[in-house]
Amino acid sequence: MKRLFTSVFTFFAAVCLTACSLSVPGGLSGSNTTRENRLGEPFSAQVSISLERFQGSGSIVRYGEGDWDIEFDSPNTLSGVMLSFDLATEGTVTASYKGLSFSVPKSAIPVKAMLLDLIEAVDTAASKEQLSGEEKDGMLAVNGALDGGDYTLTVDSSGLISSFEMPGSSLEMTFTDVVVSAQSTTAADTATETPAVTEQ
């Protein structure tokens, strides 16, 4: 009887220890960690955008909080169109094409909405001292929520933006050739801006 009791106790102890080891957060998937936050630094990059049937690409610049430009090279309906976001001071979004300014074209309305989500996510994360999230394959995935839905903002090993996704709206943005500017500028200063370091 004593031997039976000892065997049963040993079995339950082994089960408990196994359950505890499996329930450790991050034990089986990616590990939760923190990383240097460089999202607040002015940068430029190439961006590829996918939103349901929309496919586009172009160059994007972050000058500072709420101050962004994106110039499209595809699709053809938006090629050469630049959207300028001045959200911190005037709260406006303007479009321009070969020096002419006009209201945002109808074909760019979905793009405008998803870029507003990107800007809000990046500017919110940029205000934090460090980024925390799940690390996998050298990337750090930072999860959050906006009025438009949940998102995942991914940064590389240097803490620079790599991708932005909103699964609920089938939005995916991928950033390449990220270049950090030496100092904060505004859209009016781009003619004299000198890129500092290429990080990707």
The answer to whether residue 99 sits within a structural domain is yes
Q: Residue 153: which domain range? A: 31-198
Rounded CA separation 171/184 (Å) = 28
State the Rg of the chain over Cα. Answer: 23
The answer to whether residue 118 sits within a structural domain is yes
pTM: 0.74
Q: Considering its fold, how many domains does the chain have in total?
A: 1
Which residues are CB-contacts of 17 (< 8 A; sequence separation ≥ 6)?
none
Q: Check: CB of residue 133 under 8 Å from CB of residue 32.
A: yes
What's the whole-number mean pLDDT along residues 38-56? 94
- Better-predicted residue by pLDDT, 196 or 36: 36
- Better-predicted residue by pLDDT, 95 or 4: 95
Angle at CA of residue 47, ends 56 and 125, nearest 5°:
125
Domain of residue 86, CATH code: 2.50.20
The answer to whether residue 37 sits within a structural domain is yes
The answer to whether residue 121 sits within a structural domain is yes
The answer to whether residue 3 sits within a structural domain is no
pLDDT, residue 82, reads 95
117-151 confidence digits (pLDDT tens) = 999 999 999 999 899 999 988 999 999 999 889 99
